[in-house]
């Protein structure tokens, strides 16, 4: 199960969530999270004007908050390794991925 985001992708194989961000000029550095280790998820659907996001919460770490401003549209910063911005066209796939992760984590 894959979700194409803004400058990256999120994939879920039933046990592991892999977030691969593709920064300009650098090689992709994937972050792998085991579904059983995830304590929560945050999903904000994208709209016509702003991108949304998918964020995974882990024990012992603070979730990166939403940044304000017109350019960021209330998303976590790009530097947050546990989140990815998504365009509006990826809302359905992202919602299904979040539901699958929630079900897998028990």
Q: What is the pLDDT of residues 13-39, one digit of tens each?
A: 999 999 998 877 777 779 999 999 999
Whole-model pTM: value is: 0.82
User: Can you give the pLDDT at residue 67?
Assistant: 56
Spans of the chain, pLDDT less than 70 = 61-75
Please, what's the b/e burial string for 7-21 (b: 16 or more CB within 10 A of its CB; e: otherwise)?
ebbbebeeeebebbb
Residue 101 contacts by C-beta under 8 Å, 6 or more apart in sequence? 12, 17, 35, 38, 41, 56
């Amino acid at each position: 199960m894959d979700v194409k985001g803004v400058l990256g992708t999120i994939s879920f194989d039933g046990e592991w969530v892999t977030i691969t961000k593709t920064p300009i000029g650098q090689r992709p550095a994937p972050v792998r999270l085991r579904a059983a280790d995830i304590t929560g998820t945050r999903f904000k659907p994208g709209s016509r004007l702003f991108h949304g996001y998918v964020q995974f919460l882990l024990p012992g770490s603070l979730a990166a908050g939403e940044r304000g401003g017109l350019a960021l549209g209330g998303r976590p910063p790009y530097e947050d390794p546990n989140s990815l911005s998504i365009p509006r066209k990826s809302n359905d796939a992202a919602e299904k991925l979040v539901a699958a992760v929630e079900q897998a984590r028990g």
